[in-house]
Structure 1
Amino acid sequence: MDRLNAWARRLPEGAVWCLGAIPLVLLIWGALANRLGPDPVKAIEHDLGLWALRFLLASLAISPLRWVGLSLLKHRRPLGLIAFSYALLHLLTWLWLDMGLRFGQAAEDLVKRPYIIAGMLGLLALLPLALTSTRAAIRRMGRNWQRLHRLAYAALMLGVLHFALLLKVWTGEVLIYIALAGLLLGLRLARNLRLRSQLARQSPRVAG
């Protein structure tokens, strides 16, 4: 574990960004090579959304991994920003390539289709995290940034809901994402409850 932690500390953020760009590069190459099937726009839209969900899961897995001794904390910020970038590209693909920038029709779909509402709310939940992701903003906000970071869990649940409502069937893939999201949220909740319990037990001693 020590060697792995040392390797993770030496890994620059730029390398994480390069790894995060690989799915996008492969997707662009697939589009140029006409290898995305009969509906390439839907394929691009679908894959961008999935990668947003995957990178968000990866960023939220950093804390549970740290609790068991694997410290990847320095990579949480780039993973979260990569997730936001893919989510934003997913939205832009829908607006530009799918809807043809017909904003009136897009607004009608937003109101009529619950999965679009869930996806939009998930992106909005990620927006303040992306806007305050600089080191200066994190230092300035202090512990308030940690409270703001809880929006990432809301974004994760909304992203999973968006995916499940879009497919309309509970496939094995959907169940895997639901299970992973539930696991991460459950681990966070269990840890918070345990810490509150410990503080409650210590409070009488401090008072005495």
Structure 2
Amino acid sequence: MMEAVANTMNMTLRRLPPWAVYPLGALPALWIVWLTLTGGIGVDPVAGIEQRLGYDAMYFLIGGLAISPLRRLTGINLIRYRRQIGLVAFAYVVLHMLSWFTLDMGLWWRQALGDLYKRPYLLFGISALVLLVPLAVTSNNASVRRLGPRWRRLHWLVYPAVLLGVVHYLWQFKVIPQSGWFWFGLTLALLGLRLWWGARRRMTAWRPRSKA
């Protein structure tokens, strides 16, 4: 049953080109613009914009992390969209940081530094952004060819980046809601699966071959 569903979905997805991820990924941002213009963003528009951009960034980051486990566990193959999903996630991380620095801090560096001191969880978010920058810069075919095997090793930075982003999200709450624990648990599960599969693959590669 699952195999039939996966085959149907994969056949349907083949009709969707990878570039289509970009306009689809822009829909949450357009929704934020609409809410802002219509007064539906909340009583504190600055906080509402900043938070929604952060949530969207986290959703796309975790979604990108789930692509390989989803294929291995269900057969649904979204690998051809992974690079585009990662770039959309990076764009939302950048917009989230810019909304904090421009709308919240008013472009004042001294005020921003003071906010970092008062809210140290911001450092986790900034650290995640720093780790994602080289991944976004090298998310092109030319970089894959130029870096060779080093490209895959470089893109392992996505794992600590996602974990830092989720910790940044959780730390801002005085009492972590159930949804926060869900995203944290899902992130740990996805990272654990990747580590487990990687360890099994290395053990298989190192296993000595029996002599004939």
TM over 0.5: yes
TM-score, normalising length from structure 2? 0.92
Which position in structure 2 is the counterpart of 1:25?
30
Deviating 4+ runs (over 4 angstroms): none
SS at match of 1:37: coil
Query: Structure 1, residues 20-54: CA drift from partner, whole Å, max 9, x if none?
Result: 11110010011011111110110000000010000
Contact 1:17 1:82 in 2 (8 A): yes
TM-score, normalising length from structure 1? 0.94
Q: How many positions carry a matched residue from both structures? A: 206
Which position in structure 2 is the counterpart of 1:85?
91
Root-mean-square deviation (Å): 1.5
Instruction: Find the aligned partners of 1:134 and 1:24 in 2 and give their Cα distance.
Output: 24
Is residue 108 of structure 1 aligned with residue 102 of structure 2? Answer: no
Contact 1:9 1:74 in 2 (8 A): no
Instruction: Go from structure 1 to structure 2 and tell me whether the alpha carbon gap of 1:40 and 1:140 turns closer, same or farther (over 3 Å shift).
Output: same
Instruction: Find the aligned partners of 2:149 and 2:211 in 1 and give their Cα distance.
Output: 25
Which position in structure 1 is the counterpart of 2:82?
76
Is residue 37 of structure 1 aligned with residue 18 of structure 2? Answer: no
Instruction: Find the aligned partners of 2:137 and 2:98 in 1 and give their Cα distance.
Output: 18
- From 199, 202, 209, the equivalent of 1:205 is 209
Instruction: Find the aligned partners of 2:152 and 2:165 in 1 and give their Cα distance.
Output: 21
Contact 1:122 1:159 in 2 (8 A): yes
Which position in structure 1 is the counterpart of 2:14?
9
SS at match of 1:167: coil
Instruction: Find the aligned partners of 1:86 and 1:139 in 2 and give their Cα distance.
Output: 27
Is residue 60 of structure 1 aligned with residue 60 of structure 2? Answer: no
Which position in structure 1 is the counterpart of 2:180?
174
Instruction: Go from structure 1 to structure 2 and tell me whether the alpha carbon gap of 1:138 and 1:207 turns closer, same or farther (over 3 Å shift).
Output: farther
Instruction: Find the aligned partners of 1:205 and 1:5 in 2 and give their Cα distance.
Output: 36
Query: Structure 1, residues 133-170: CA drift from partner, whole Å, max 9, x if none?
Result: 11111222122111111111111100111011111322
Instruction: Find the aligned partners of 2:196 and 2:174 in 1 and give their Cα distance.
Output: 31
**Amino acid in structure 2 at the alignment position of 1:52:** A
Instruction: Find the aligned partners of 2:210 and 2:14 in 1 and give their Cα distance.
Output: 37
Instruction: Find the aligned partners of 1:127 and 1:102 in 2 and give their Cα distance.
Output: 23
- From 156, 163, 166, the equivalent of 1:160 is 166
Instruction: Go from structure 1 to structure 2 and tell me whether the alpha carbon gap of 1:43 and 1:140 turns closer, same or farther (over 3 Å shift).
Output: same
Instruction: Find the aligned partners of 1:196 and 1:74 in 2 and give their Cα distance.
Output: 25
Query: Structure 1, residues 34-93: CA drift from partner, whole Å, max 9, x if none?
Result: 111110110000000010000001111111122232221110001000100000000000
Instruction: Find the aligned partners of 2:206 and 2:210 in 1 and give their Cα distance.
Output: 10
**Amino acid in structure 2 at the alignment position of 1:56:** L
Which position in structure 2 is the counterpart of 1:119?
125
Contact 1:17 1:78 in 2 (8 A): yes
